[in-house]
C-alpha cells in the first residue's frame, strides 16, 4: 500500500485496492480511498460485515464468478446492514461454458441492478474478456446499457506487466476509447 500512497501523492489520484483479508482492514481504512471486495470474496460474509461496520468509505463489490443477481445484492446488503451505505456494484463477467474468453460479460446486470436496487453499477470489461481487444467494444456496450462507470486496466507496457497484461490497454488506446465513449455516454444521458 505504501507504493500506492506514494503514487497518490505524486498524481493526486485516489487509491482503489482489493482487500483480501480483514487482517488488513485498519491499514486499508487509513490509506485506501475506495476498498474493493473481489469476486472471490463476494460471499465472505464475515469480511463484508466487518468492512460495513468499520468504515463509511465507498466499497466496490465485484460480482462472484457464478453469483446470481440476488446473491450479489444480498452480499451488498451485508455491508449496508452493518452500517455502510456506500456500496458500488461491479460486474466483471460470469463463468459460462465458453472458454475462449476468460468470462462472459453480463451486460443485463446494468438494467437489472438499476431495477432492483438504488446502487450504482460499474462494468469491468478488462477482467471479463481477458483480452485487450475486447475492452473497447465491451466498454461501449456497457456505457450504452447505462452503467455508472468503467474499470479498465491500463499499462504502458502490457507485455511486461506483472499481472493483467493481456487485458490491459496502452495509454494511447485508453485515451482514444475515452473519446469514442463520449457520444455514447451523451446519447444515454451519462457523463
Q: pLDDT band at 160, cuts 50/70/90?
A: confident
The mean pLDDT of the chain is 96
Supply the range of the domain harboring residue 161.
2-187
CATH number at residue 155: 3.20.20.70
pTM: 0.94
In angstroms, the first-to-last Cα distance of the chain is: 30
pLDDT of residue 174: 97
Residue 85, CA distances (Å) to 53, 58, 70, 81, 130 in order: 10, 8, 18, 8, 31
Residue 170 has pLDDT above 90, yes or no: yes
Is residue 133's pLDDT more than 90?
yes
Query: Distance (Å, rounded) from C-alpha 49 to C-alpha 185?
Result: 35
Number of structural domains, the chain? 1
Amino acid at each position: 500500500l505504501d507504493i500506492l500512497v506514494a503514487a497518490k501523492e505524486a498524481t493526486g489520484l485516489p487509491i482503489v485496492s482489493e482487500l483480501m483479508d480483514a487482517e488488513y482492514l485498519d491499514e486499508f481504512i487509513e490509506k485506501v480511498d475506495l476498498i474493493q471486495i473481489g469476486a472471490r470474496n463476494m460471499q465472505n460474509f464475515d469480511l463484508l460485515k466487518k468492512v460495513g461496520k468499520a468504515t463509511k468509505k465507498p466499497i466496490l463489490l465485484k460480482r462472484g464468478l457464478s453469483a446470481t443477481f440476488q446473491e450479489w445484492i444480498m452480499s451488498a446488503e451485508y455491508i449496508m446492514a452493518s452500517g455502510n451505505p456506500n456500496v458500488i456494484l461491479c460486474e466483471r463477467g460470469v463463468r459460462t461454458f465458453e472458454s475462449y474468453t476468460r468470462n462472459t460479460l453480463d451486460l443485463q446486470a446494468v438494467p437489472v441492478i438499476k431495477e432492483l436496487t438504488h446502487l450504482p453499477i460499474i462494468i469491468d470489461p478488462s477482467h471479463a474478456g481477458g483480452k485487450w481487444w475486447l475492452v473497447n467494444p465491451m466498454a461501449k456496450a456497457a456505457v450504452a446499457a447505462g452503467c455508472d462507470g468503467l474499470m479498465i486496466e491500463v499499462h504502458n507496457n502490457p507485455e511486461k506487466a506483472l499481472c493483467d497484461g493481456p487485458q490491459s490497454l496502452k495509454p494511447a488506446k485508453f485515451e482514444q476509447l475515452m473519446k469514442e465513449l463520449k457520444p455514447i455516454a451523451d446519447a444515454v444521458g451519462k457523463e
